[in-house]
Amino acid sequence: MDNLKGKVALITGGSRGIGKSISKRLASQGATVVINYIQNETAAEDTKKEIEESGGQVFTSKFDVADFDAVHEEVDKIIEKLGGLHILINNAGITKDTLLMRMKEEDWDNVISINLKGIFNCTKAVTRNMFKQREGRIVNLTSVVGEMGNAGQTNYAASKAGIIGFTKACAREMASRGITVNAVSPGFIKTDITDELTEELKKDYISRIPLNRFGTPEDIAGAVAFLVSDDAAYITGEVFRVNGGIYT
């Protein structure tokens, strides 16, 4: 399938986990993919290599999504080099879990800066070009935790709930320019983030998931691929849940 041929897609945090699956999936559908990461160069290069080996077009771009100036600089370079940017997947995210009683100010600030301000930075950086093109697809990764809450994740839940409001407001601002803005809300997905959970907690979560398993990064990549496809042309401001039924 090459329905994304001629499109340039930037995937923040596209080197590992869910972002890696999204990068591979969009590249396999013909998009030229730009994989953003912050520190793990080996993971980014490995993902790049995998995509190249299957015939995809791919570049890497190292920047911190929380750094307003760096994001603008890098996005401008990408647009100049590749002649446009049609798809932005705001996927980069972190957790700094602890109960509110023990949460340090920096745990709060880090998570909000990367997860929420990062989406503001990246979306703002691509907007002028997408407006000019009168075309664009933006997909923001929120979380079931932003919708239902979770003990020990007040910072993360707040960032992910904020993303939903941001998505809905952007959708209204950008619709007249032919740009759709949606969120994908994963449940518990098997990646480095969930590998950090204790076995006991993993078992407890799985027992509460009607489909009785953690999701895979590919489950999320499929939803993202749908939202950037022509089939989703009339969908904007939506929160697309991919959570095995744990929250409906």
Answer yes or no: 156 catalytic. yes
Report the half-sphere exposure of 22 (CA within 13 A, side-chain side): 31
Q: Which of 31, 85, 116, 141 binds ligand NAP (CB under 6 A)?
A: 141
Considering the rule CB under 6 A, would residue 17 count as an interface residue with ligand NAP?
yes
Q: How far is the CB of 14 from ligand NAP (least distance, A)?
A: 6
Q: Which of 28, 29, 36, 61 binds ligand NAP (CB under 6 A)?
A: 36
Q: Taking CB under 6 A as the criterion, which residues in 89-108 touch ligand NAP?
A: 91-94
Contact by Cβ (8 Å): 187, 209: yes
Q: How far is the CB of 45 from ligand NAP (least distance, A)?
A: 11
Report the half-sphere exposure of 176 (CA within 13 A, side-chain side): 3
* Non-local CB neighbours of 161 within 8 Å, separated by 6+ positions: 142, 146, 147
Q: Which is nearer to ligand NAP, 6 or 165 (CB)?
A: 165
Considering the rule CB under 6 A, would residue 42 count as an interface residue with ligand NAP?
no
Q: How far is the CB of 18 from ligand NAP (least distance, A)?
A: 4
Q: How far is the CB of 124 from ligand NAP (least distance, A)?
A: 15
Q: Taking CB under 6 A as the criterion, which residues in 177-196 touch ligand NAP?
A: 186, 188-189, 191-194
Q: Which is nearer to ligand NAP, 84 or 93 (CB)?
A: 93
Q: Taking CB under 6 A as the criterion, which residues in 151-180 touch ligand NAP?
A: none
Considering the rule CB under 6 A, would residue 136 count as an interface residue with ligand NAP?
no
- The count of other CB atoms within 10 Å of the CB of residue 245 is 12
Q: Which has the closest alpha carbon to 25: 43, 45, 2?
A: 2
Q: How far is the CB of 199 from ligand NAP (least distance, A)?
A: 16
Considering the rule CB under 6 A, would residue 38 count as an interface residue with ligand NAP?
yes
> Which range in 30-38, 75-83, 122-130, 203-211 contacts ligand NAP by CB under 6 A?
30-38
Contact by Cβ (8 Å): 130, 144: no
- The count of other CB atoms within 10 Å of the CB of residue 150 is 15
Buried (b) or exposed (e) across 46-67, using 16+ Cβ within 10 A?
ebbeebeeeebebbbbebbbbb
* Non-local CB neighbours of 94 within 8 Å, separated by 6+ positions: 110, 111, 114, 115
Considering the rule CB under 6 A, would residue 110 count as an interface residue with ligand NAP?
no
Q: Between 41-53 and 17-28, two packed helices, what is the crossing angle to 10 degrees?
A: 20
Catalytically annotated residues: 156
Residues that bind ligand NAP in the complex, under the rule CB under 6 A: 12-13, 15-19, 36-40, 43, 64-66, 91-94, 114, 141, 143, 186, 188-189, 191-194
